Structure 1
């Protein structure tokens, strides 16, 4: 049931509107002054107000402003005479839903009222969903229709309960830290510290002090003891971001801690600590091992459980959900209700080198600058909006360690064949080569 208020100094108007809603699931109350109407809105809950622009005790536009301040989402329909239509239109610019002119048609009044009530109901539903979503905003990366991502989520309960070291692989900005926090929060250590340690923020001496602390440093503070990140993470979890940045010497020291649970504090004695290790990298560590930059024993020490998060461009089916979660997070006033189909198409076709983090930044920036009720294609940053001007030229990103060209070509051929249901002519068309050229490459790679 919806509650409706009529504010009009002509009692007859209030009676007509009340009569019009008889037999419907709506309750109508009436009053004949602005002050009485404002007081009723303050004390009761109304979904819709019919407001006469000409009232004896206050100008109708002023009443509209006061009503919208009391309840921003309140639907207000202006009642006006023929000679005041310009004023009625101006009132719509200031927040009124619509207007009707005297004398009005009852059927038209009921139709406008139903539209207004539906809009109010829709807004309330949106606000409810946004409030619910905001309770889980920290789980933003755990929205997925992607099979590979969901396979990871499926094993989280088991791996969260153990203390086994975990290695999370994936590009920057795709939610590796969020995944590590989720593992921590689901396990028995959830009430203990979760410590983030960035391995790329200093030289070896700095890293060692920050990680292990120190005791009795002669040069700095002879009689003082400083605890490190491992001390803080005792009984909890430490997340090593960019683990590949550690020197081989530090890798060895950390490996000894993983194997024994004993930490050797510089200048002090060894101490026993209980810390779960979760590491993350955006590099191919096996290639780093081959190049001599990473210890093989350390790799296997941190890689008892291996998880790989795909980049956002391989999770196109998740982009819509991410966008609306970020709208909920940053659009605190509820200005934006939708993303237009054209804008959504461009957002889904963009390559997202910065992954989820870049998408979040884009949505936050749009909300900061956009005053409209929707996100349109024109609101998007130039690099996204102007994709259509670039045509179908591929954008290729090379990892720092480089690529194996033959492996890439082989993988592309296999994907094309899969998309073409093993139809060689169609696969060749997808690859932009002749069928004979495709068959030659298939034989070359043993496909």
Structure 2
């Protein structure tokens, strides 16, 4: 296998049929040739099945686990490497993986072991959270310390249990309140959205699917009665939760639905979408602070600005990308499309430029970043500076909630083209600044 990474920065303009908006992508071609989890691929002369993908909490890190090994790709440093060969395959047999913001990788396995290591260390540690053998199927972390796993002490009868850690995996405890269900069930989706944990279950006996919400990180669960039945069972149904609205899709089904009341009622996207026939959605994601959303199927990408109307990206009919087999769609600080031999990085929208419109021209930077007490917004494009004072300045948290707003940028001047804003009262986290439709991001410590 080649050790040198070929990084190609190709700006691809993607047109929709009914819109002048363009989507710009960078094509990051790597020496990985095994991104398609549905097939075996040859890695170092060994045929290995790819079990799980996870875009790490650190920007530009992609984590891939296979049957025997674990790999990490760092787009920013243009390198990839095999982190280490894992334990004996009979002990390993991974099901899921995640990398947290403090560089810790966690892998859960059929054997009931949880493996973890810092990416800068050579040694893995492993532990069983309970004495008896239990298949561990899912893992999710809210932050660097709090995580949840699902395991099956009695896999034959499909009775999963949820355990949690509050110290980064050193100690695990069983939740006092578990998901209660009359029939045996599998957990097919398992994801944190800030403090909200969403789980989708499947009952093999009835073929029913149910959604459970926990608004306090898994300590208590609320059951949603009504949920669409998909035509086939998939290990991961695609889910996304934003501002009280939930999107759910299934890979082998035409069902792509959303609910704006936590699942009490559902609307099919195809019933309100002008572009009918959306099907086979593999993953869904949205930019945190806006309504820019993406839904991926094997043939390309659907794009929305309101969550209702989706336009199909036909760029993949071009010769250059006609053989794409897009199989994963992950988002953390950046948006990536993972395909067989490359990763496409979403690089923003290009829209028509109007005079006196700050939202249509680039050139906004934020410093210091990370920030503590104040941030300064600098408009490096001098043509923007006279118009910026007319625009409202908004700051959103990671949930898309507005936390700071000024009627106009003119109210926070520090000099020509610069805006200084007090953020000392904001909790630590990721925030987004919006002036018109121009957006930038900063981290508050």
TM-score (normalised: structure 2) = 0.22
Structure with the higher fraction of residues in helix conformation? 1
When Rg is computed on C-alpha atoms for both structures, the one with the higher figure is: 1
Calculate the TM-score normalised by the size of structure 1.
Answer: 0.22
